[in-house]
Amino acid sequence: MAMVDQPLYPIAVLIDELKNEDIQLRLNSIRRLSTIARALGEERTRKELIPFLSENNDDDDEVLLAMAEELGVFIPYVGGVEHANVLLPPLETLCTVEETCVRDKAVESLCRIGAQMREQDLVEHFIPLVKRLAAGEWFTARVSSCGLFHIVYPSAPEVVKTELRAIYGQLCQDDMPMVRRSAATNLGKFAATVEAPHLKSDIMSVFEDLTQDDQDSVRLLAVEGCAALGKLLEPQDCVAHILPVIVNFSQDKSWRVRYMVANQLYELCEAVGPDPTRSELVPAYVRLLRDNEAEVRIAAAGKVTKFSRILNPELAIQHILPCVKELSTDSSQHVRSALASVIMGMAPVLGKDATIEQLLPIFLSLLKDEFPDVRLNIISKLDQVNQVIGIDLLSQSLLPAIVELAEDRHWRVRLAIIEYIPLLASQLGVGFFDDKLGALCMQWLKDKLERNARISRECCHGVDLDRVVHLTSLWSKELSSRIIVDRSSSERLAFSLHVYSIRDAAANNIKRLAEEFGPDWAMQHIIPQVLDMVTDPHYLYRMTILQAISLLAPVLGSEITSSKLLPLVINASKDRVPNIKFNVAKVLQSLIPIVDQSVVENSIRPCLVELSEDPDVDVRFFASQALQSSEQVLCSEKTLSRSEMGFDDH
């Protein structure tokens, strides 16, 4: 009897759990469907499990969503593609539920199953399913049906294909806007499966109806269809049918439709080709750049460089550049920011003369914009301008503004300038760099805390300092320790993090400059200033110098590190601030592979031994780590030396 009852156990458990009031039990049961199916076997899964799921009337969307997802990969558990049709009924039911995400997942699973089904099964089982959904009394079924036509159409007989095209046309004229939206969304996929003669007749007729829909939500989806259909049509048909629609949409009464046109204009231009773009779409684009709605101008401004590339420089200067000048002083900061993110790319398009005469003044005005994101977007793309106008003109026109931004009140702007400096240095050359920008790089190592006093007071207003310290303790030990030391000053706490980012970037910046200009330059210009700053009264500056030393050491080499940098680090081990001392231990650990073995034994290890006996637990921890590292390095070097001399341990 037990042998008879045992196979019934999985399905019985499933039924019990699916009827349980606890949603988590029901959800877990659905997610174990594949396990249950393997236990039942293919035949019992088809005859018992799938019918049970078809009749399941669970009203929880999360359970239904999980079921729709599981059934999409269920073909192997029902016996392969020859039995895939048994999965259609439960998914058909899920296509009619009210929750959108469940319907979408059911349609996705049906598409996955349909792509694997045999052609005769598609004709016999899948096409009737699509017809039933398309004729459904409740709009949800009709919405779902729109996403399935492209699966069944290629396999349908000619008579059925005609019927399917007619049904899709009816869906595009459905009384419910949600159905028409779904039809507009899926039109491109369906059109890709339709034969060319019917594409120009049936599909384009349906498309024109959608473009004139009274609901803007339908029309804006039809904009996406323009690009999709344009790729399927011949060039002359595209100009005849798609181009007028785009022009009309650019003047649509709904700003959402105009926004969609502005956002997809480059793709639409690719669909109609370069010549119609120059003659027909330039006026439409100019209208979008001067649109009354800021959202439309934002989308249009973000495409200004891409659109200019389609045109020749003369057309871009004549039509696009005047709009760009207007947008650079737009009342919306977001429009100016969108323009700043792409305008530098116009320089290669317009050429050197037009860039100098027309674009440079715009760059300068955007570099001085009151909104920091605008300045950031310009700074990050300066190299594109340098490639066109050359470093001499760049230094004369934009360098003063760059130097001014090095003192910007917004730390992200200063950070962007720092990250751009190595690239600028390689372009300027060592002589020009030393004259104009060398002092700035060292200044950033001591990024002024006072500059941010006003910001910090604003940031600290209403801040729970205990909470901030608790959260930051989850970060690196060094960072949390520094914050705790500074916690007595609420003003420092609020801005120490972002000012630290500036000094951290400045230290990396000096390393990259040393790589660019070489150790001799670093010895002449960096090391003397490092010697001055290592005794700065503010411990955060001293800690930044330690970080700079650890970054410079691999670039400068063993000799300079041992003679110039190592003594500074060892002297810093006598600092009264524990944060400095455990950073000394970390720096010494990083120097061990760089310097000679004798230096490690005579200088580094004695210092670390002393730090390992420090009263502070963090100092002892990092010193012990560094000592272990030094022992490993020394052991490996001794082993290597013995092997080179021909000895072994035996």
Helix (H), strand (E), coil (C) string for 616-639: CHHHHHHHHHHHHHHHHHHHHHHH
Asked if the model's pLDDT at residue 97 lies above 70, the reply is: yes
Kindly tell me if the per-residue pLDDT of 635 is higher than 80.
Answer: no
Asked whether the predicted pLDDT for residue 228 surpasses 60, the reply is yes
- The alpha carbon of 172 is separated from its chain's Cα centroid by a whole number of angstroms, namely 35
- Estimate the share of the chain in helix, then strand, then coil, as percent rounded to the nearest 5: 80, 0, 20
d(CA 209, CA 225): 12
Number of H helices and E strands in the chain, helices first, is 51, 0
Asked if the model's pLDDT at residue 336 lies above 70, the reply is: yes
Handedness of CA 77, 82, 88, 90 (dihedral sign): negative
Distance CA(519)–CA(503), nearest Å, equals: 22
Confidence of residue 474 (pLDDT cuts 50, 70, 90): very low
Total Cβ atoms within 10 A of residue 234: 10
Q: What does the pLDDT read at residue 456?
A: 38
Q: What's the rounded Cα separation, in Å, for the pair 284 and 350?
A: 21
pLDDT exceeds 90 at position 143: yes
Mean pLDDT of the region 589-603: 85
Given a contact cutoff of 8 angstroms between Cβ atoms, the answer to whether 105 and 67 are in contact is no
Q: Which of 234-248, 379-393, 472-486, 530-544 has the lowest mean pLDDT?
A: 472-486
pLDDT classification of 322: cutoffs 50, 70, 90: very high
**Hey, what are 276's tokens?**
């119609």
Distances (CA, A) of 190 to 144, 223, 325, 505: 14, 16, 43, 52
Element (H, E) at 447: none
**pLDDT confidence of residue 276:** 79
| Tokens 């969108």 belong to residue | 338
pLDDT at position 643 is 57
The number of angstroms, rounded, from the C-alpha of 125 to the middle of its chain's C-alpha atoms is 42
The pLDDT of residue 91 is above 50? yes
Which of the pair, 467 or 196, is modelled with greater confidence? 196
In this prediction, residue 207 has a pLDDT band, given cuts at 50, 70 and 90, of: confident
Q: Residue 482's pLDDT is what?
A: 40
Burial class (CB in 10 A: 0-12, 13-18, 19+), 573: buried
pLDDT at residue 483, as a whole number:
39
* C-alpha Rg value of the chain to the nearest Å: 35
Nearest to 28 by CA among 39, 36, 17: 17
pLDDT in tens, 476-519: 334 433 433 443 444 444 444 445 666 677 777 778 778 878 88
- Residue 649, pLDDT above cutoff 60: no
Distance CA 478, CA 470 (A): 14
> What pLDDT is stored for residue 295 in this prediction?
93
**Lowest model confidence (mean pLDDT) among 120-134, 264-278, 338-352:** 264-278
Asked whether the predicted pLDDT for residue 448 surpasses 80, the reply is no
Q: Residue range 254-264: average pLDDT?
A: 89
Rounded percentage of the chain residues whose pLDDT exceeds 70: 79
d(CA 208, CA 203): 9
Burial class, 474, CB count within 10 angstroms (exposed 0-12 / middle 13-18 / buried 19+): exposed
Measure the CA–CA gap between 513 and 527, rounded to whole angstroms.
13
Report the candidate in 299, 152, 171 with the shortest Cα–Cα distance to residue 223: 299
In the 8-state DSSP scheme, what is residue 138?
Answer: S
pLDDT score at 245: 85
Cα 64 to its chain centre, rounded Å, is: 31
Q: Per the structure block, which two tokens stand in for 84?
A: 């895939």
The predicted model gives 437-456 an average pLDDT of 53
Tell me whether residue 392 is exposed, middle or buried, using C-beta atoms within 10 angstroms of its C-beta: 0 to 12, 13 to 18, 19 or more.
exposed
Mean pLDDT of the region 68-87: 86
| 339 φ, ψ (degrees, to nearest 5) | -65, -45
Residue-level pLDDT at 560: 85
CA distance 112 to 100: 18
pLDDT of 428 reads: 63
Q: Predicted confidence band at 299 (pLDDT cuts at 50, 70, 90)?
A: very high
User: pLDDT value at position 300?
Assistant: 92
Per-residue pLDDT reduced to its tens digit, 346-395 = 888 888 888 888 888 888 888 788 887 887 787 777 767 766 666 666 66
The residues, ordered by sequence, that sit 6+ positions from 105 with a Cβ below 8 Å of its Cβ are 65, 68, 69, 72, 94
What is the percent of the chain where pLDDT is above 90?
9
- Tell me, what's the pLDDT at 107? 92
Q: Is the pLDDT of residue 457 over 70?
A: no
Number of CB atoms found within 10 A of residue 118's CB: 14
Q: Please tell me the predicted confidence (pLDDT) of residue 423.
A: 66
Neighbours of 448 (CB within 10 A): 12
Q: Residue 534, exposed/middle/buried by CB under 10 A (0-12, 13-18, 19+)? A: buried
Higher per-residue pLDDT: 542 or 101: 101
Is 306 within 8 Å of 266 (Cβ atoms)?
yes
- pTM for this entry: 0.66
**How does the average pLDDT of the chain come out, rounded?**
78
**Is the pLDDT assigned to residue 22 strictly greater than 90?**
no
Which of the four pLDDT bands, split at 50, 70 and 90, describes residue 335? very high
Concatenating the DSSP letter of every residue in 163-198 gives: HHHHHHHHHHT-SSHHHHHHHHHHHHHHHTTS-HHH
Distance CA 210, CA 237 (A): 18
Q: Which is more confidently placed, 457 or 29?
A: 29
Q: How far apart are CA 255 and CA 216, in angstroms?
A: 9
Residue where the block lists tokens 């384009």:
204
DSSP assignment of 241-258: HHHHHHHHHTT-SSHHHH
